């Protein structure tokens, strides 16, 4: 197989028939080109979806409350369920290994004023962990810390949009913001990758807000992230356990679907993964079909070549070439053409992706790329394709009878 003479023969035959070789190779290069491009595009879509979900931590669970829909344990239906600080302590205490970050969120709306500028903004009263769960980015200053919470300090972190609204070019850090007639010191400005709406929030220490609103310990919702090492199944399992425990704690019927809403990001994420996997399969299928057309093209041309070379094959046989040696020659030539042109198509596609990819600006499409496994699979496909394309013509060649061949002109 690594006989120098066979390669000399193959190069000879290719050099003698440049156009034929080019046309043959082109169909395979085209097939691989499309296959790689399709796979990279699916990858790009996958990355696009992932980055959209990335606004929030992908391992986050949001828990909201509502009213019960079923009577249970002596309570009538339509009882409002309310989380309190004790629920946070309970989850922290019982799921030490499962929970990474946890924060309460107490939502409200306020009027904020700085000098003459006034605006109405939504409020989120949270604890410091919130920053990691929502992936809040601090532009200047800092986010809330434990000291703010413990001492119920009147501090606030404002969104970039609020800064634009109220402060224009002034640096808001350390300035006093008047919120519903109370004064708060601005300790930080944040941005958020999600969208503009996210940047119109005010973040207060949850304890400060609860005290301000008649010393309550109520909270609107619980946000947490689970152990990032969890598999999908473990994550689902954990959120189910959490739901059961919370229902028991608040005396809700186990089958009540309305009282507690538990939103696990993993579920949505899994849907996306399933979707892109499906796209992957489809594009592999389409790519292979296109490649198949290329292979048939090569087989076709090789059959023609064999016909052209009938006499030569006859001479070789008269001189003592064994059928296996003839088959070897034809198949190697086929594998050589398919592999080289296939790599050509692959490199061309990868080059195109490298040049065009970074310039595509779309939410649904990001960083299209080819994985190493794709390249390896494509290579294997190429070699197999070459063998398949060469097989029938090779067998045909081996069957050429020397006398018939020698008499043909």
Tokens encoding 106: 């107490």
Which of residues 356 and 404 has its CB atom nearest to another protein in the complex?
Answer: 404
Rank residues 137 and 324 by Cβ distance to another protein and give the closer one.
324
Distances (CA, A) of 8 to 3, 5, 269: 9, 5, 55
Task: Count CB atoms within 10 A of the CB of residue 19.
Answer: 7
Q: Smallest distance from the beta carbon of 400 to another protein, in angstroms?
A: 10
* Cα–Cα dist 277/287, whole Å: 15
Residue nearer to another protein on the CB measure, 352 or 406: 406
Q: What one-character DSSP code corresponds to residue 36?
A: H
* CB-nearer residue toward another protein: 6 or 392: 6
Q: How far is the CB of 409 from another protein (least distance, A)?
A: 8
Nearer to another protein, 319 or 372 (CB): 319
In the complex, the residues that contact another protein under the rule CB under 8 A are 4-5, 12, 16, 311-312, 314-325, 398, 401-403, 406, 409
| Residue closer to another protein (CB basis): 71 or 324 | 324
In Å, how far are 69, 73, 114, 372 from 356, measured between CA atoms? Answer: 54, 63, 47, 19
Cβ at position 4, least distance to another protein in Å: 7
3-state class percentages of the chain: helix first, strand second, coil last, to nearest 5 = 55, 20, 25
Nearest to 187 by CA among 153, 150, 142, 148: 142
- Residue 233 neighbours by CB under 8 Å, 6+ apart: none
Instruction: Provide the 10 A C-beta neighbour count for residue 92.
Output: 12
Q: Please, what is the minimum distance in Å from the beta carbon of residue 20 to another protein?
A: 14
Output the smallest distance, CB 397 to another protein, in A: 12
* Smallest separation (angstroms) from another protein to the CB of 322: 5
The tally of CA atoms less than 13 A away on the side-chain side of residue 117 is 13
Q: Where are the alpha helices (DSSP H) in 134-227?
A: 146-150, 160-167, 206-212
3-state class of 289 per DSSP? Answer: helix
Which residue number, 5 or 255, has a Cβ lying nearer to another protein? 5
Dmax (CA) of the chain = 109
Residue 399 C-beta: closest distance to another protein, Å: 8
Q: How far is the CB of 355 from another protein (least distance, A)?
A: 41
Instruction: Give me the residues paired with residue 188 across strands.
Output: 141, 157
Angle among Cα 27, 304, 334 to the nearest 5 degrees reads 50
Indicate left, alpha or beta for 404 from its phi (over 0: left) and psi (-120 to 50: alpha).
alpha
Residue 161 or 316 having the CB closest to another protein = 316
Nearer to another protein, 357 or 393 (CB): 393
Instruction: Write down the least CB distance from residue 373 to another protein, Å.
Output: 40
Calpha distance 122→133 (Å, rounded): 18
């Amino acid at each position: 197989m690594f006989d120098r003479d066979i390669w000399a023969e193959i190069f000879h035959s290719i050099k003698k028939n440049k156009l034929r070789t080019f046309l043959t190779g082109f169909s395979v290069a085209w097939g691989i080109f499309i296959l790689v491009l399709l796979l990279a595009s699916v990858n790009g879509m996958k990355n696009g979806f992932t980055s959209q979900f990335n606004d929030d931590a992908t391992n986050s669970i949001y828990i909201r409350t509502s009213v019960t829909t079923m009577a249970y344990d002596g309570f009538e239906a339509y009882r409002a369920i309310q989380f309190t600080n004790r629920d946070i302590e309970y989850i922290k205490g019982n799921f030490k290994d499962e929970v990474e970050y946890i924060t309460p969120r107490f939502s409200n709306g306020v009027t904020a004023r700085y000098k003459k500028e006034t605006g109405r903004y939504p409020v989120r009263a949270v604890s410091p962990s919130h920053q990691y769960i929502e992936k809040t980015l601090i532009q200047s200053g800092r986010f809330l810390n434990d000291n703010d919470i413990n001492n119920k300090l009147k501090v606030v972190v404002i969104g970039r949009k609020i800064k634009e609204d109220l402060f224009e070019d002034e640096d808001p850090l350390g300035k006093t913001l008047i919120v519903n007639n109370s004064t708060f010191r601005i300790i930080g400005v944040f941005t958020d990758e999600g969208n503009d709406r996210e940047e119109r929030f005010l973040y207060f220490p949850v304890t400060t807000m609860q005290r301000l609103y008649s010393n309550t310990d109520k909270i609107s919702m619980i946000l947490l992230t689970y152990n990032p090492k969890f598999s999908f199944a473990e994550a689902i399992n954990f959120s189910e356990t959490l739901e059961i425990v919370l229902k028991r704690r608040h005396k809700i019927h186990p089958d009540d679907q309305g009282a507690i809403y538990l939103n696990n990001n993993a579920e949505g994420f899994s849907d996306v993964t399933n979707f892109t996997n499906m796209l992957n399969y489809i594009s592999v299928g389409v790519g292979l079909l296109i490649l198949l057309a290329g292979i048939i093209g090569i087989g076709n041309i090789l059959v023609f070549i064999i016909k052209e070379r009938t006499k030569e094959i006859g001479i070789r046989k008269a001189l003592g070439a064994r059928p296996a040696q003839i088959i070897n020659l034809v198949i190697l030539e086929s594998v050589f053409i398919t592999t080289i042109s296939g790599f050509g198509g692959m490199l061309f596609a990868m080059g195109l992706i490298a040049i065009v990819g970074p310039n595509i600006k779309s939410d649904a499409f990001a960083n299209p790329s080819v994985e190493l496994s794709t390249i390896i699979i494509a290579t294997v496909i190429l070699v197999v394709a070459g063998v398949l394309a060469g097989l029938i013509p090779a067998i045909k060649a081996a069957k050429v009878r020397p006398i018939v061949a020698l008499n043909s002109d």
